[in-house]
Amino acid sequence: MSTVLAAYDYKYQANVWRGDVNETFQASKRVKTEYTVVDGQVVKTVETTWEFASAIAERSVQLPDPPTTFLYVDSTYRKDRVYIFQKTHIKTTTYSAYGDGAYLVVIDDLDVLTGINTHTTSIIDGKIPLAPTVGSSLSNLIQQPITEVLDDNCDSIDKTITIDSEYLQDESEGAKLAKRRMQRETAIVRRVKHGVNPLMKIGHTIQVIDPKRSVDGRHVLLGKHFTMGENGAADEVLEMEFWTR
């Protein structure tokens, strides 16, 4: 049997001795995860962990302790003379479809120091996780379809429109676009004959007032074209939308 008692020079508190005079930042753990991805979905992950550790040595009450074990101050026998930075765990997780609305997760957690493998299985509702992506410091641009159902109390809209644009930055912008589509789908379209006015441009907001038809509201100008009257004067026909929402 070999006995190793390390001598430390600095006492931090009662029964706590350290090798450094001050606490310093030191790496004590490292985790590396490898992904196996098929069609954008994760099917397997392997998570490897490195830590400062030493495996506990098995002892026999009938035979003397083997010369390769070391007695630590906590009265345990270890295989290594000191704690070394080594691989301690390998966690393997596999994902597979389980019906239409769930997936199966199988986890094998191997303790490298003891050789013990823990096997667990669980069923989780939802879809198999997608592959993680590396973010950019310039933009968080993500291209993905955002689907909203456009309807109102009058049931004038009976269809589903998929909002899909490569310029959408996040779901909040997609929600704004969906609201704008809702406004346009439920808008009141008016065509107004008006004298030529070059100041009115497509996209301008125009206050339309017609006391005879009880019209008094802001409209968005979407288009216009010219017509010639009987006296040869030119008029404009304005196409406008009044958003009810």
Identify the pLDDT of residue 8. 53
What pLDDT does 104 receive?
93
Q: Which regions of the chain are under pLDDT 50?
A: 1-5
Two tokens, residue 216:
């008094």
Q: What is the 3-state secondary structure (H, E, C) of 67-98?
A: CCCEECCCCCEECCCCCEEEEEEEEEEEEEEC
Nearest-angstrom CA–CA distance, 98 and 103: 4
In this prediction, residue 106 carries a pLDDT of 95
Contact call for residues 47 and 57 (beta carbons, < 8 A): no
**pLDDT confidence of residue 174:** 78
pLDDT tens for residues 142-189? 555 555 555 555 555 556 667 777 777 777 787 888 888 888 888 888
Task: Count CA atoms within 13 Å of residue 25 on its CB side.
Answer: 0
Q: What is the pLDDT of residue 107?
A: 95
Q: How far apart are CA 24 and CA 70, in angstroms?
A: 28
Residue 31 has which token pair? 């985790």
pLDDT digits (tens, 9 = 90+) for 86-106: 899 999 999 998 888 899 999
Task: Write down the H helix ranges in 136-236.
Answer: 171-185
pTM of the model: 0.44
